[in-house]
Structure 1
């Protein structure tokens, strides 16, 4: 092949390569498959969530009023107990002896009183006849009064001994569940100080939570008093499920805590199935104001970047368009959008991470049912 032919072949190759390159450049970018949803607009009750801890409404430490060794345990840790049910028994031998001793003292004092009263009766008869001096009668009457006082004192001592004996049987003051850390048989109990066990009420229970100062002011500004928002509280358990029974606000602290600046509150929930146990954590959900015509999008459609929030919407030519948005409160798995979107917008829910502004989109529309959210009204 001569030199001239080689030049022509090389030129032809360059022309063909340039044409292919232009064809590739002119080919449209590949569409990105995404899922999108029409923006939802409806009147929406705004809910507020607070982290809470389940506590017993009443929690009573059981203490004995007498000292001694535990001779019997009549319940096991974790048992459900009722008011008046025996829980422990303290060795009663010492207290039986005290009762017997007090009974003997009362009997002796009563016998002495009877003798003195008979003397008083005789002295009164003799004094009426002038057989004895009036002073002797007065002395006898005084001795009778002293003997009566002695009887009263011994009877009081007997009553105390009988009460101490009765108190060796320790009963539950309330209905509830007894803790598992109770004392064992043989343990020594100091009157008024040793905690034998703790009994906690189980139905109803309370949920303790706190509200920040700003949250409190927000409720106050919309005129939503605790009597309003605190009447139908919801409880979300740690596994995400909703407790089936509503709760009611019962207690509000007198002021904000100095260290945290929060207002402590307690709400009561019926617990007939004993599902709620003290120490569990849950979220209190309270309904605040209702926003008319609120714009809602799925929370997972929101993108955070450098402290700002964006969403990707489907443009008029099915291209990706990034819009900055101002967000309001969260409603379940939805997000209120206060600025940046209209009801005509179609928001990309899945696949936006693969797009760039202007990227052509292959859109699959989904509805509220696909996201397990309520349909627009």
Structure 2
């Protein structure tokens, strides 16, 4: 019985040793895992032109609120809402009846004052000649000259009253102060208006037109330089993006940089003028101003798809010695089409993984391959050797 047990143990041990031997041999035959096929990119420096976006509002370069300078009832409206108007064109009329009456009355007062002055002048001349002949008392001459001076003053006062009445009569007709477009009327025929308070309408120019943006105070030197640079207009540095995504590519130029920075926001207002013959820009629209920003020095550029975000940090896989890929934390700058600027973490000449990055693990050996292979596709079969 004991002999059979010992024999079984010997056989089992031999089988176990044989099995271990085979496992070690298989492991030696398999070797390390195969290299991961990827597409790589060598980091280099390039001249970078990015696009900065600023929220903007379209404003009229010239805009005037129409308010009556005399009171009364509106008796005529000469234009339609939204109509194009010319400078000096009649727009509204306030009841002219009392202003015309006041003008005629003032005109008559001038005539009376002048007639009285002419009479007193003749009297003064007559008494002056008589005084030269000692035919009248000197005191009487003084009275005549005083009457003449008073008559001259009355003429001047009457003429001033006539000028005021003429102004009121003229102001009863409201004309356009500029060439542009009139808005929707705020009053109707028969409405009573008060001088200086009632808003009748608004007239504004629309060609050219302007876009206002708020710029951080740190960018003031840049915009001051662009304001003085005539090539900024020729190179279309500034374009306008409308709400539907279309781009208004007029030749915009900086016309005004505000006098002071807003201390609450740390920004300054910049106004740009655009030709607007097409009328696509309308005052009050909210738009995005797109400003090209060419970097003064070359910067590091990498494909954006090579970047991996983990826990709020951005990484790329850098291929080092022995073709091993190791993650490296980087800081990103501005996007440039399909690429992105790297502000720190890489240097020129570094080799990074671009495609196939999802298959790479830290420390894994990688093998540069075509984009198709990096995406998991099988390469075409090689032609048989002859």
For this structure pair, what is the TM-score category when the shorter chain's length is used for normalisation?
0.7 to 0.9
Relative to 1, partners in 2 of residues 1:302 and 1:250: Cα closer, same or farther, differing over 3 Å?
Answer: farther
Match of 1:125 among 110, 123, 129: 129
* Cα distance per residue 1:164-214 (max 9 Å; x no partner): 111111111122222225322222221122221122221222221122234
Equivalent-residue separation in structure 2 for 1:208 and 1:256 (angstroms) = 14
Equivalent-residue separation in structure 1 for 2:347 and 2:118 (angstroms) = 101
Match of 1:210 among 207, 214, 217: 214
| 3-state SS in 1 of match to 2:113 | helix
- Counterpart check, 1:331 vs 2:332: no
Equivalent-residue separation in structure 1 for 2:341 and 2:230 (angstroms) = 20
| 3-state SS in 1 of match to 2:103 | helix
Give the 5 Å matches for 1:242-281.
Answer: 242-279=247-284, 280-281=286-287
In the alignment, structure 2 segments of 5+ residues that lack a partner are: 1-25, 373-386
| 3-state SS in 2 of match to 1:245 | coil
Match of 1:105 among 106, 109, 114: 109
Relative to 1, partners in 2 of residues 1:300 and 1:210: Cα closer, same or farther, differing over 3 Å?
Answer: farther
Q: Is the Cα contact below 8 Å between 1:309 and 1:324 reproduced in 2?
A: yes
Name 2:13's counterpart in structure 1: none
Give the 5 Å matches for 1:259-338.
Answer: 259-279=264-284, 280-292=286-298, 294-297=299-302, 299=304, 302-311=307-316, 324-332=329-337, 334-338=339-343
* Cα distance per residue 1:225-279 (max 9 Å; x no partner): 7534994431231333332222222222333212111222222222222211122
Q: Is the Cα contact below 8 Å between 2:106 and 2:158 reproduced in 1?
A: yes
- Counterpart check, 1:227 vs 2:228: yes
Q: Is the Cα contact below 8 Å between 2:303 and 2:354 reproduced in 1?
A: no
Name 2:173's counterpart in structure 1: 169
In the alignment, structure 1 segments of 5+ residues that lack a partner are: 1-21, 366-377
Shift of 1:338: 3.3
Alignment: residue pair count: 337
* Cα distance per residue 1:128-186 (max 9 Å; x no partner): 33221111111111111111110111111111111111111111112222222532222
| 3-state SS in 2 of match to 1:139 | helix
Q: Is the Cα contact below 8 Å between 1:61 and 1:195 reproduced in 2?
A: yes
Q: Is the Cα contact below 8 Å between 2:305 and 2:354 reproduced in 1?
A: no
Relative to 1, partners in 2 of residues 1:64 and 1:201: Cα closer, same or farther, differing over 3 Å?
Answer: same
Shift of 1:335: 2.0
* Cα distance per residue 1:302-349 (max 9 Å; x no partner): 443322123578999999976543222233554222343756757647
Q: Is the Cα contact below 8 Å between 1:237 and 1:282 reproduced in 2?
A: yes
Relative to 1, partners in 2 of residues 1:125 and 1:226: Cα closer, same or farther, differing over 3 Å?
Answer: closer
TM-score, reference length from structure 1: 0.74
Name 2:12's counterpart in structure 1: none
Relative to 1, partners in 2 of residues 1:185 and 1:336: Cα closer, same or farther, differing over 3 Å?
Answer: same
Relative to 1, partners in 2 of residues 1:195 and 1:343: Cα closer, same or farther, differing over 3 Å?
Answer: farther
- Counterpart check, 1:147 vs 2:148: no
* Cα distance per residue 1:26-66 (max 9 Å; x no partner): 9xx9xx99999887853223443322222111221112221
Equivalent-residue separation in structure 2 for 1:176 and 1:110 (angstroms) = 45
Q: Which range is displaced more, 155-164 or 264-273?
A: 264-273
Equivalent-residue separation in structure 2 for 1:229 and 1:212 (angstroms) = 23
Equivalent-residue separation in structure 1 for 2:196 and 2:260 (angstroms) = 33
Equivalent-residue separation in structure 2 for 1:140 and 1:216 (angstroms) = 74
Q: Which range is displaced more, 172-181 or 309-318?
A: 309-318
| 3-state SS in 2 of match to 1:57 | coil
TM-score, reference length from structure 2: 0.72
- Counterpart check, 1:69 vs 2:70: no
